[in-house]
Structure 1
Amino acid sequence: MRSSSLISFTPLLPVALLALVAVGVGVAWLGRLGHARAVVTACLRAAVQLGAVSVVIAGVVALPAAVAGFVLLMYGVATFTAGRRITEGRGWWWAGAPIAAGTVPVLAVLVASGVISTKGIVIIPIAGILLGGCLTATTLAGRRAVDELVQRKGEVEAALALGFEPRDAALEICRPAAAQALVPALDQTRTVGLVTLPGAFVGMLLGGASPIEAGVVQLVVLVALLAAEAVATVVTIELAVRGHLV
């Protein structure tokens, strides 16, 4: 029996995974959530993608060009995913702007300050964390902003009649709702160590780091993620009020 210190690779591992998938599908179906099939496909994709990524990362971490290409691939997938969720296929590429605006400056600060090294084994996971956070923030902010602007079109027109500029009128309607995209990141940062021990902290501990070192790493990740998501949210709202996402 092999162990990663967190889970044991026993013969029952596949059985446990299948049972958990079945629970997710069963609950989604019985609760009529409309996502029973999506649970299956998401789990299958996760298994295939993680297996492929594990193999690819092992071969690219030592090559700077390959690392850059892999990060760009992650960025492209994040852009497509967020854009499709927000615009239903129309102008999905606009989602790339907030994701890049949030990820690039924060990653640059971390590298320029020497907080993280330029080794591929470090850049890839940190970039992935930032891209994932910006993907979530962009998707949530974009969907909330678009929904508000469509459903409350009359209120936007009323603000225009009162003398508001088009951008200001749209902002008054959609910004409060779209800003809620930051709530998950804020809650995660506020409750870290009290409710959950995030992945970076646990990973450092399993890798042999002291609890203090693991705590510092996790703090850097959370603060960087919150900054990146804040930028992504603001840029997403700006794109929505300018009509690029509606």
Structure 2
Amino acid sequence: MSSSVLLLSMDPSDPSFWKEFLVGMLKPAAATSVVLMAVVLSFFQKLGLEGEMVYAIARAFLQLSVIGFVLQFIFTQKNAGWIILAYLFMVSVAGYTAGQRAKHVPRGKYIAGVSILAGTAVTMFLLVVLNVFPFTPRYIIPVAGMMVGNAMTVTGVTMKKLREDLKIQKNLVETALALGATPRQATLQQVKRSLIIALSPVVDNAKTVGLISLPGAMTGLIMGGASPLEAIQLQIVVMNMLMGASTVSSILSTYLCWPVFFTKAYQLEPKVFTAD
């Protein structure tokens, strides 16, 4: 039995539990040397990301240390309420993070949260209805986490890029509006561009999966003793659901952005496009 599996099976009140925990954290601690390299490079390149890098790694360390035990508890529960609670928590954090990335979009956190919720919920519903995954914590929570994470990244990029393009091409959009175009018609090219830029990494990842990157889900199953066929089937499902959820979330975010980008008179909202 591996040390990580042994640790999860132990009682935290047992003194040997914390000994195993500290020993197991030696390798992750040693791996922070790679982060130190990134921090040094950021400093010499004057990127100003040193503090954010250190904060991100420290936060990830703390979050993963806690969430492992939380997942162990949830996986043993048979109440569907825990699945929904964990899912809504992930969506809330993802919406906040994506909204922070597109911080100049009014109500950006709300728009991102609703978009991510809708995109991932629809995808998850289809997977459950089609009996691709059983509605149990061990399946739904990891799958939902992957979908929410990808939808968060794509949605944040879509909103940020759309706002930037509209600001740069403000005169072009205003001319189209003055000639009688609707907000959708006036911003069609900007919307397309933002969606293409945001979704391109997801599409490229699907094209090169197995050739450049080895998927964690498939590799983990094979290492765990599952048949290659079973692992391949699972990874295909994962890639399909990531693309579906990301596409729905990003497209919906553009629709939800229009009310905050335009006034009721179908004019660009000055406050949105004057901020740096």
TM-score normalised to the size of structure 1? 0.90
Instruction: Name the residue aligned to 2:68.
Output: 54
In the alignment, the residues of structure 2 paired with residue 66 and residue 177 of structure 1 have an alpha-carbon distance, to the nearest angstrom, of 36
Alignment check: 8 A CA contact 1:179 1:233 kept: no
| Shift in Å, 1:86 | 1.3
Over the aligned positions, Cα root-mean-square deviation in angstroms equals 2.3
Cα deviation 1:164-202 (Å, max 9, x = unaligned): 222210223343233310011001100011001111112
Instruction: Name the residue aligned to 2:88.
Output: 72
In the alignment, the residues of structure 2 paired with residue 55 and residue 89 of structure 1 have an alpha-carbon distance, to the nearest angstrom, of 36
Residue 215, structure 1, aligned to residue 229, structure 2:
no
Deviates more, 1:137-146 or 1:85-94: 85-94
Cα deviation 1:198-240 (Å, max 9, x = unaligned): 1111221222112221111111000110011111111112222
Cα deviation 1:34-55 (Å, max 9, x = unaligned): 2111111110111100111101
Q: For 1:50, give the aligned amino acid.
A: L
Task: Extract unaligned runs of 5+ from structure 2.
Answer: 5-22, 263-271
Residue 25, structure 1, aligned to residue 42, structure 2:
no
Deviates more, 1:236-245 or 1:214-223: 236-245
1:3-22 matches, within 5 Å, as 13-22=27-36
Q: For 2:98, give the aligned amino acid.
A: A
1:176-187 matches, within 5 Å, as 176-187=193-204
Residue 83, structure 1, aligned to residue 99, structure 2:
yes
1:182-201 matches, within 5 Å, as 182-201=199-218
Residue 205, structure 1, aligned to residue 222, structure 2:
yes
> Identity of aligned pairs, percent?
34
Deviates more, 1:98-107 or 1:172-181: 172-181
Instruction: Name the residue aligned to 1:242.
Output: 259
Instruction: Name the residue aligned to 2:10.
Output: none
Cα distance change of structure 1 residues 86 and 102 upon mapping to structure 2, 3 Å threshold: same
Q: For 1:177, give the aligned amino acid.
A: S
Instruction: Name the residue aligned to 1:175.
Output: 192
Greater gyration radius: 2
Deviates more, 1:26-35 or 1:89-98: 89-98
Residue 226, structure 1, aligned to residue 243, structure 2:
yes
Query: In the alignment, which of 146, 151, 154 is matched to residue 134 of structure 1?
Result: 151
The number of aligned residues is: 243
Cα deviation 1:80-108 (Å, max 9, x = unaligned): 11122213484121212210121011101
Cα distance change of structure 1 residues 84 and 12 upon mapping to structure 2, 3 Å threshold: closer
Q: For 1:25, give the aligned amino acid.
A: V
Cα distance change of structure 1 residues 155 and 214 upon mapping to structure 2, 3 Å threshold: same
Cα distance change of structure 1 residues 160 and 11 upon mapping to structure 2, 3 Å threshold: closer
Residue 148, structure 1, aligned to residue 162, structure 2:
no
Alignment check: 8 A CA contact 1:167 1:242 kept: no
Residue 35, structure 1, aligned to residue 49, structure 2:
yes
| Shift in Å, 1:244 | 5.5
Cα distance change of structure 1 residues 2 and 200 upon mapping to structure 2, 3 Å threshold: closer
Residue 162, structure 1, aligned to residue 179, structure 2:
yes
Alignment check: 8 A CA contact 1:142 1:236 kept: yes
In the alignment, the residues of structure 1 paired with residue 61 and residue 24 of structure 2 have an alpha-carbon distance, to the nearest angstrom, of 17
